[in-house]
Amino acid sequence: MEHKEKIQDLKESIQKLNQLSSEEKTNLLESIEMLWLNASVRKKKKDIVLPDDSNENILRIRQLLAAAWSEDLKE
C-alpha cells in the first residue's frame, strides 16, 4: 500500500509541476507582449512633433490614447 501512495504522490507532484509550468509560460508570454507594446508606445513618444494642422492633432490624440491604454494594461 505504501508503494502505491508514493506513486500517487509522485503523479500529483508531476501534475502540479506541469500546471505551474503552464502558468509560468502564460505569464512570460504576457510579459513579452507587454514589453513589445510598451516599446512601441515609447517609440511613438520619441517621434512626436508639435501638431500644425488637424491631421497632426488626430495623430497626437491617437498616440495619447495608445499610451494611456498601455498604462492601463500594466495594472
pLDDT digits (tens, 9 = 90+) for 41-52: 766 665 555 556
Residue 53: what pLDDT? 64
Q: How confident is the model at residue 34 (pLDDT cuts 50, 70, 90)?
A: confident
Q: For 10, how many CA atoms within 13 A lie in the half-sphere containing its CB?
A: 6
Give which of 30, 9, 8 is closest to 22, Cα–Cα. Answer: 30
pTM: 0.44
Higher pLDDT, 40 or 19: 19
Give which of 45, 46, 50, 49 is closest to 67, Cα–Cα. Answer: 45
Q: What share of the chain is helix, strand, coil (3-state, %, to 5)?
A: 90, 0, 10
